Structure 1
Amino acid sequence: MFDSTPLSLKHSIDIPLPLDECFDLFTPHGETLWIAEWKPEYIHPRDGQTVQGMVFLTYHGAETTHWTIVDYRPHQHYVRYSRVTAGSRSVLIEVQCIPQGACNDDTRVWVAYTLVPMSEKGVDDVRSFQGENYVAMIERWRTMILTYLDRREAGA
């Protein structure tokens, strides 16, 4: 029998954008702007509108991941996703954006993952998030967002 103990992780990054604009980057559509390989297949609603109860799929290699927005509070700049990769893991992802800076022109983004293995393979997959790997992943998000902002500013 495999160990299904959850792993909870949390890390924050600072993004040089106002709160609303930054929060939009963490919606399924918003992530297409800064993650080249992020191509969600919208199941409900089909038009990709971000709403509580939204369902979509993503594909990475041989894995298909089923996503649901289980809590969406745009006025509080908070979203919680549930994602399940069959035969591997179940994950809750929470994103909370908080204004920063003297003029609230920057945003701190807290990203929390709670991962539960669903198989021996899932145990290995969850372990791959441990230690500095999780922090490095979230810091890569910051780098990708800054690259996107540079391209956008340059008019690319």
Structure 2
Amino acid sequence: MNRRISSAALNVPLPPEEAFRLFTARGERDWVPGWEPVFPVETPDDTAPGTVWLTASHEEETTWLVASRDFPRSVSYARITPGVRAGTVTVTLAATEVGSEVTVTYDMTPLTPAAAKTLDEFATEYPSFIRSWEELIAAHLADHIDVQP
């Protein structure tokens, strides 16, 4: 079993200072169907290093922890799905003429052979996975913010 590192970029028509929120635990609620992070303790700033939240889907529960934050340039999350996989998700934002280029990197280690197979499939589909994020964000912004193409 080997570590899997998948990285891809998407474009968001907002400057990094505004786009950053879209890649936080609470901000993803706005555009990710079914995303419902649960905070075990009251958390006024969901990007503060050390902040923990939980998500559940497909019969798995994942624990997330903010590992680092450099607003508005980057945020890194540790994530552990017990008995399945563990690793980090890092989001970096760079200003462009029309908004932000956002690079999302998953660095995951499988904890079982079955998880290794699933991570291989995830890596193969990763570019389309990130394209779907761009589409979901664009649809959200079109509904909520006056964004000029």
- Tell me, in whole angstroms, the C-alpha distance in 1 between the residues paired with 2:86 and 2:67: 14
Match of 2:54 in 1: 57
Aligned partner of 2:145 among 125, 135, 153: 153
Provide Cα deviations, 1:98-129, integer angstroms capped at 9, x if missing partner: 0001xxx4100011111101012211221121
Question: Structure 1 stretches of 5 or more lacking a match?
Answer: none
- Tell me, in whole angstroms, the C-alpha distance in 2 between the residues paired with 1:112 and 1:25: 16
Tell me the TM-score normalized by structure 2: 0.91
Aligned partner of 1:41 among 7, 16, 38: 38
Number of aligned pairs?
Answer: 146
What does 1:1-80 correspond to in 2, within 5 Å?
A: 3=1, 5-47=2-44, 49-75=46-72, 77-80=73-76
Aligned partner of 1:106 among 92, 99, 102: 99
- Tell me, in whole angstroms, the C-alpha distance in 2 between the residues paired with 1:84 and 1:49: 17
Provide runs of 4+ in structure 1 moved above 4 Å: none
Match of 2:80 in 1: 84
Aligned 8 A contact 2:24 2:46 in 1: no
Matched, 1:141 2:133: yes
Superposed CA RMSD in Å reads: 1.5
| SS of the residue 2:115 aligns to | helix
Structure 1 residues 69 and 58: CA distance shift in structure 2, 3 A: same
Matched, 1:123 2:119: no
Provide Cα deviations, 1:44-69, integer angstroms capped at 9, x if missing partner: 44446321101000000210001001
Aligned 8 A contact 2:43 2:51 in 1: no
